[in-house]
Amino acid sequence: MQPFNLIKTQNYEELSQAASEIIIKVLKENPHSLYCFAGGDTPVRTLELLVKAHQEKEINLCDAYYIGLDEWVGLDRSNDGSCLSYMKRNLFDPANIPKEQVHFFNATSEDLEKECSLANEYIKKHGGITLSLLGVGVNGHLGFNEPGTSFESQAHIVDLNDITKKVGEKYFEQDVMISQGITVGIKQLLESKYLILEASSETKKEAIKKLMESKITEDWPVTALRLHTNCTVVLDGML
């Protein structure tokens, strides 16, 4: 028996629908709480469905607060490949979410440790994260919590694995030199009241296989989700 709720869907659209329905339900019950949504290819349609529900007045995304999951260190926020730009494009701008209700890492700051402290304080001020929507890296990372990251970690700076840097190249129109990330920690994600993991690419098969196995190990951060008591894993037909 899996320690999490497993939803297997036929395709990407069904995956996005299933995840968005859970988030909409939680938003209705916790409209003024703190939410953390991952970037990347997989959550795009889920975020579109949330915006649609907002525009149809089923929910009000402007009532909630948001914490950025991660960011590329040294990358200006205005860069189209930045995690903030992604969230602005796919959620914040279409829903007209006030910028005062969004906290994101400033990855060009001269004091990145302070950026970590500010994120920790923001999460604590809001009583923790109510729901985190996550994807998973090819190497099993969550956010930029790379293999070997302590499950007790809070917001921190991390040296990115070569595979993460290689996969990340697709988000940038021009060549960028990225070696580090800054991210919300695994401990904070595990303290979310609700966790959703989406996976829809064959490249994630090994990571999902590790998640399904019983061994929980920091070598595969995704296995930390087995420690959560209210986690839903949504897979499409490719997995």
The pTM (predicted TM-score) of the whole model is 0.95
Lowest-pLDDT range of 97-106, 125-134, 167-176, 193-202: 167-176
What's the whole-number mean pLDDT along residues 88-94?
97
Mean pLDDT, the chain, integer: 93
- Looking up residue 36, the CATH number of its domain turns out to be 3.40.50.1360
Q: Distance between CA 81 and CA 87 in Å, rounded?
A: 10
Q: pLDDT at residue 171 above 70?
A: no
Report pLDDT digits (tens) over 177-234: 788 999 999 999 999 999 999 999 899 999 999 999 879 999 999 999 999 999 999 9
Alpha carbon 198 to its chain's center:
10
167 closest CA partner among 137, 190, 206: 137
Burial of 82 (0-12, 13-18, 19+ CB in 10 A): buried
At residue 164 the predicted structure's pLDDT band, cuts being 50, 70 and 90, is: confident
Our count of domains for the chain comes to 1
Give the model confidence (pLDDT) of 55-69 as tens digits. 999 999 999 999 999
Q: Which residue has better confidence, 76 or 171?
A: 76
Residue with tokens 């988000």: 171
Which pair of structure tokens corresponds to residue 86?
Answer: 């992604």
Q: Are 133 and 126 in contact (CB under 8 A)?
A: no
Average pLDDT over residues 107-132: 97
What are the angstrom distances between the C-alpha of 128 and each of 45, 122, 147, 199, 237? Answer: 26, 8, 24, 25, 33
Pairing outcome for strands 5-8 and 156-159: unpaired
CA dist., res. 124 & res. 191, Å (int): 11
Average pLDDT over every residue of 155-160:
95
Of 16-30, 93-107, 128-142, 204-218, which gets the smallest average pLDDT? 204-218
What is the model's pLDDT at position 87?
Answer: 97
Please report, rounded to a whole number, the percentage of residues in the chain having pLDDT higher than 70: 94
Tell me if 202 sits within 8 A of 42, measured CB to CB: no
Q: Is the pLDDT of residue 168 over 70?
A: no
Task: Provide the token pair at 2.
Answer: 């899996």
105, exposed or middle or buried, with CB in 10 Å at 0-12, 13-18, 19+? buried
Residue 165 pLDDT > 70 = no
DSSP 88: I
State the pLDDT at residue 173. 60
Catalytic residue set? 70, 139, 141, 146
Asked if pLDDT for residue 162 goes beyond 80, the answer is no
- Examine the pLDDT at 172 and tell me if it is beyond 90: no
3 state DSSP class of 12: helix
Q: Can you give the residue range of the structural domain that contains 47?
A: 5-235
Which structure tokens are listed for 190? 């595990």
Is-contact 112 157, C-beta < 8 A?
A: yes
Classify strands 70-72 and 180-183 as parallel, antiparallel or unpaired.
antiparallel
What's the average model confidence in pLDDT over 2-18? 94
- What distance lies between CA 57 and its chain's CA centroid? 25
pLDDT bin (cut points 50, 70, 90) of residue 174 is low
Question: What tokens were used for 197?
Answer: 């993991």
